[in-house]
Amino acid sequence: MSYEVIQQEQFTVAEMAALIDHSLLVPYASRSDLDRFIADVFKYGFRVACLNNCNTEYAAERFAGTGVKVATVASFPFGALTPEDKAREIENSIARGAGLVDVVMNIGAAKSGDWDLLYRDMAACAEAAHKHGIEVKVILECCYLTREEIVKSCQIAKKAGMDYVKTSTGFGSGAAVLGDVKLMKDTVGTDMGVKAAGPIGDFVTAVAFLHAGAQRLGSRRGVEILQGCTDWDRYAGD
């Protein structure tokens, strides 16, 4: 699969919703919050619902047969588990119904220059997901990394067999910035995807990240992003 830079300027709601991993990852989300979130996924046509591990099975049951994939997060938000523990968490999530996985890398390994550990960390996660045919994204948490560390982490992600590199958890000291997305895309090329995540809360910002090199966007403000789409008026009155 080739992950080309998206140049499109205008989007319908359906087109943009297909690019967003609509997310509910706050630790205080209640069951009623989750039910409202699921209703929005159906209403606006999001194709991916990104949730914490504990909500995977509940959401998977409701999305069964609809084409919506449940993405779950692993070693979230710190990435501070061993490779073996991350692999087990990923496999447990898949058993509960996860159709996609976003896993936080060992940030401390990158900051220490322990690239062998970082490779083992990522390779274990990629293997755990791929043995079940599941796509996996690795979260770098770019706010803590230098440009050189971002490049090296992307190179290792590619070598380890990750499908995507992702900017951030949304719970670090910073989130996606355009320069990081461009750097990541320049590093991985078209062989891997890039996912931008964080304070992406409007249509203009979303399109800017797509043009910078992201193929997917992660946001809990997906509905607000859709409000800039060409046919939003069809949905606004509902």
Domain ranges of the chain: 13-232
Model pLDDT, residue 136:
98
**pTM recorded for the entire structure:** 0.97
Q: Which is the catalytic residue, given 69, 86, 137, 166?
A: 166
Least confident of 16-20, 165-169, 173-177: 173-177
pLDDT at 55 over 90: yes
pLDDT confidence band for 64 (50 / 70 / 90)? very high
SS3 188: helix
74-97 average pLDDT score:
98
pLDDT at 212 over 80: yes
pLDDT at 238 over 70: no
Q: What are phi and psi of 225, to 5 degrees?
A: -60, -40
pLDDT tens per residue, range 186-199: 999 999 999 999 87
Alpha-carbon span 69 to 55, nearest angstrom? 13
SS3 211: helix
Q: Which is the catalytic residue, given 21, 69, 86, 102?
A: 102
- Is 195 annotated in the active site? yes
Alpha helices in the chain (DSSP H): 13-17, 31-44, 56-63, 83-95, 107-112, 115-130, 147-160, 178-188, 203-212, 222-226, 233-236
- Is 166 annotated in the active site? yes
The CATH fold assigned to 13-232 is TIM Barrel (3.20.20)
Q: What percent of the chain has pLDDT over 70?
A: 99
Compute the half-sphere exposure of residue 174: CA atoms within 13 Å on the CB side of its CA: 10
Q: What is the DSSP track for 121-137? A: HHHHHHHHHHTTT-EEE
